[in-house]
Amino acid sequence: MDPVAKDFSNEPIDLASLPKYEAVAFSSVSPNYLIKMNIQTGIFMLVLSIGLGVFWFFQLNHLQSGIIFALVLVAFVFRFWNNYKLLNSLGYAIREKDIIYKRGYIFSKATVIPFNRVQHASISRGVWDKILGISSLNIFTAGGSGSDITIPGLDPEMAVRLKEAIAVKISNDES
């Protein structure tokens, strides 16, 4: 008999003893991120409204234009409500061996990334981010773009601290 096969063991794990990520206390993103989402929604809806105004001007049937306008108004209200609900669903947590990012309120999704899979982290700030004083932390993994995460709406100082903490964890895992 092979000596390696004699030492091999693959016992089942008690699933009830596994840690639950839902029990982690998540940190929320800045309320300024809601302002950014609302500005982006407002700009989109303004462009859409201008397009509909042009359509209405050249369209003789006012009933169809009225129905389309009502649908756009409902979409406009829904988008702002959606932004608010989305902000409340965003959260992140850093644990000893991984980082967790959760999002979504209808279809919630949580991504748990072990630090030994993280390639690097970067901070990005767009025009609205600079005006509103927020940043996004981008975490890139060895698994490819499908497992990368971006945590938006962070205070710039917190984004730097998180990036540095991730860099320390990555370097400790490599040594």
Residue 111 to residue 147: CA distance in whole angstroms? 8
Whole-structure pTM over 0.95, yes or no? no
Locate the domains of the chain by residue range.
33-86, 92-174
Per-residue pLDDT of the chain (175 residues; tens, 9 = 90+): 566 567 788 888 888 877 776 778 899 999 999 999 999 999 998 888 888 777 777 766 777 777 877 888 898 899 999 999 999 999 999 988 889 999 998 899 999 899 889 999 999 999 999 999 999 999 999 877 677 899 999 999 999 999 999 999 888 766 5
From residue 93, give the alpha-carbon distance in Å to each of 45, 52, 53, 97.
Answer: 34, 43, 46, 11
Give the single-character DSSP code of 12: P
In terms of CATH architecture, what is 92-174? Answer: Roll (2.30)
Residue 155 to residue 126: CA distance in whole angstroms? 14
Residue 63 to residue 59: CA distance in whole angstroms? 10
Strand, coil or helix: 143: coil
